[in-house]
A and B are shown apart, each in its own frame.
Chain A
Amino acid sequence: MKKIVGVSLMVLLFLSISSVASARKFSIGAFGGLNLPIAQGDTKSGALFGVKGRVNLLPFLALEPNYVRAQFAGKDLEVGDRSFAREGGNFNSFGADLLFGTMSSLSKMKFYGLMGINSNSYSRQGIEDKTGLGLTLGTGFEFFPTEILSLEIRARYHAIKLGDGGRSHVEISGGLNYYFGKE
């Protein structure tokens, strides 16, 4: 008898913990983190921040419009026996990502993959501003301490086309999301 009661209590406890997560349709969030240039001999990492919204389209699919502003520092240029500090710059990105994963799961944690498209304006001192199409690919993890709030960690590869070339970055960020609306 004691065993049955004990097991039942444990099952009830497990169910109560796992059913905290959100079944809400919409969310808005803010995030910040690190922008890491990939294979770029003239730039170093910088900070990034952004805002986004999310709409759950299907149980496994969500659409996430977003805005990101990412900065990068300039690497020193070695010229002869001199070293020149070079200014960094930034890019502003407006776009949308498609998220694939457990979008409507009632689990306390969500994992997802993402891919997206965006429009970017690239600015750097000493050269003309450039605009270019960007593509993103990444993954994320979300944890729900309450039904309407989540903490999120994400890594996103972001490639931007500039002229006939391109610049690539990895964006690592953490953020907070607020959920609302019924599924």
Chain B
Amino acid sequence: MKINKKSWTLLAVAILATLLLSGCWLIGITLVLSYDIDDKDVSTSAPLNGWLVDLTTEQDWKDNQDKLDEIYILYFYGWIKNYEGTPATGRLYVYKDTSLHTVADVESLATLVLDGIAIGADTTEVPLIAMGLEPIRDLIMKGKFGLYAIAKEIPFDIKVFNASVVVIFAVEP
């Protein structure tokens, strides 16, 4: 069957229109959002408190929260002071809120997103480091979650300061 030039042109336009209508990813937008968290002392000698990371208070998130497609990466940056004087191993956990107040609850109910943070005997800078995203992707998409920092060694007494969470995400145009 011979197909003439006009038919090929119409077929190409039809295919293109179908793809454009079905694929918002064809015009993907990627945004970067940095969320500062408060300085906090965390130790086994006091009730544990996590940070409430509320991305919905950030303008870029508010403008795009109904057009979110994908969370590409979640970073943590900060400084950790170790009052114990012996090296420790830091861990970050994520939970749906900040209702957890013991190390045991955090370890059993929250999701471990970063392990093996080497905390020296004094003050350590944690450079921009990616957190494990896959198990918590849906939670992050909601825009609010609890972030917990503990150390593997018991007892521990640390202070997290000058810290931020960075989210890189995709939105529809």
Q: Which of B8-16, B89-97, B149-157 forms contacts with chain A?
A: B8-16
Do B27 and A165 touch (CB < 8 A)? no
B31: chain A residues within 8 A (beta carbon)? 41
Do A164 and B5 touch (CB < 8 A)? no
A168: chain B residues within 8 A (beta carbon)? 26-28
Do B16 and A60 touch (CB < 8 A)? no
Classify the interface of chain A: helix, strand, loop or mixed.
strand
Classify the interface of chain B: helix, strand, loop or mixed.
strand
Do B70 and A162 touch (CB < 8 A)? yes
Residue of A nearest to B141 (CB): A164
Do B30 and A167 touch (CB < 8 A)? yes
Do B69 and A164 touch (CB < 8 A)? yes
Do B28 and A159 touch (CB < 8 A)? yes
Complex CA gap A84/B76 in Å reads: 12
Interface residues in B1-60 by Cβ distance below 8 A to A read: 5, 8-9, 12, 15-16, 19, 23-32, 34, 36
Do A84 and B27 touch (CB < 8 A)? no
Give min CB distance, B89 to chain A, whole Å: 21
Residue of A nearest to B173 (CB): A39
Give min CB distance, B137 to chain A, whole Å: 9
- 7 tightest A-B contacts by CB? A165-B170, A166-B25, A166-B28, A165-B70, A165-B69, A40-B30, A39-B29
